[in-house]
Structure 1
Amino acid sequence: MGRNVLVVDDDAAFRSLARRLLITFGFAPAGEADSVSAALAVVGSLRPDAVLVDVGLPDGDGITLAGLLTALPWRPRVVLTSSDADAATPEDVERSGAAAFVPKDQLPNAELHLLLGD
């Protein structure tokens, strides 16, 4: 398996789908979180190489979370995602330090190995 990836999304069905997609691309799912607070609680112990973050989370937004994650000492790569193709602008991505924003329906065709690192 390749790099470890944490999946942060409030939809359990999507987290399951993302986990399978990551495995298909050769990544190792590091864990899951369903909110900003849950992600912040586990990221230090999991130390993922990369994080797939939903923009819309129940206790905050994924763009702000991405900024917190990319500022961690080991600088995990972050890819933002959403079912809303307009949920994050290029400026949001740049400001947060994320590698990219990929709408959920485009994830299967995305260059995840380039976005999340290999």
Structure 2
Amino acid sequence: MGKKILVVDDAAFMRMMIKNIITKNGYEVAGEAENGKEAVKMYAELKPDLVTMDITMPEMDGIDAVKAIRAIDPNANIIMCSAMGQQAMVMDAIQAGAKDFIVKPFQQDRILQAIERVLSRSARA
């Protein structure tokens, strides 16, 4: 069975794109959330192997969600997704505990590379 991934983005189209890429490549979608608050709740329930997290979302942004998830599980594997020009936010996300980031618009190879790198690091830890 493939690793389980929680997909978090406020845009349904982006969630669908990410889900298609990960399922085509042998990963399982554990669930999807459209804001940080939902993501934290779902992480606690589903205990996915990895989370893809949008930065800019309503209710709770991705950076606060990363902090909340890392408070539940200090070893959580989270990859931030950001639009171009959000470098400062990306740095905040990494400092909050994200393991990697990918820039929108996504290249399929870049998403898979980030997922594989983060999961292989956590397997060694």
TM range (shorter): 0.7 to 0.9
The one-letter code sitting in structure 2 at the alignment partner of 1:114 is R
Instruction: Provide Cα deviations, 1:38-75, integer angstroms capped at 9, x if missing partner.
Output: 11222211111110000001112212211222332372
2:48 counterpart residue number? 48
Question: Residue 24 of structure 1: CA displacement?
Answer: 2.3
Q: SS in structure 1 opposite 2:72? A: coil
1:75 counterpart residue number? 75
2:113 matches 1:114: no
The one-letter code sitting in structure 1 at the alignment partner of 2:99 is A
Segments of 5+ residues of structure 2 without an aligned counterpart are: 121-125
User: Structure 1 runs of 4+ off > 6 angstroms?
Assistant: none
1:86 counterpart residue number? 85
Instruction: Provide Cα deviations, 1:18-41, integer angstroms capped at 9, x if missing partner.
Output: 111111232111000011121122
Provide the C-alpha distance between the structure 2 equivalents of 1:88 and 1:61, rounded to a whole number of angstroms. Answer: 15
Root-mean-square deviation (CA, aligned residues, Å) is 1.8
**Is the CA contact 1:25–1:113 (under 8 Å) kept in the aligned structure 2?**
no
Q: Return the TM-score normalized by structure 2.
A: 0.81
Percentage of pairs with the same residue: 27
**Is the CA contact 1:69–1:75 (under 8 Å) kept in the aligned structure 2?**
no
Q: SS in structure 2 opposite 1:114? A: helix
Q: Which has the higher helix share?
A: 2
**Is the CA contact 1:70–1:78 (under 8 Å) kept in the aligned structure 2?**
no
The one-letter code sitting in structure 2 at the alignment partner of 1:3 is K
Provide the C-alpha distance between the structure 2 equivalents of 1:38 and 1:93, rounded to a whole number of angstroms. Answer: 18
Segments of 5+ residues of structure 1 without an aligned counterpart are: none
Provide the C-alpha distance between the structure 2 equivalents of 1:42 and 1:93, rounded to a whole number of angstroms. Answer: 19
Question: Residue 76 of structure 1: CA displacement?
Answer: 2.1
Cα distance change, pair 30–88 in 1 and its aligned pair in 2 (3 A): farther
Provide the C-alpha distance between the structure 1 equivalents of 2:77 and 2:84, rounded to a whole number of angstroms. Answer: 20
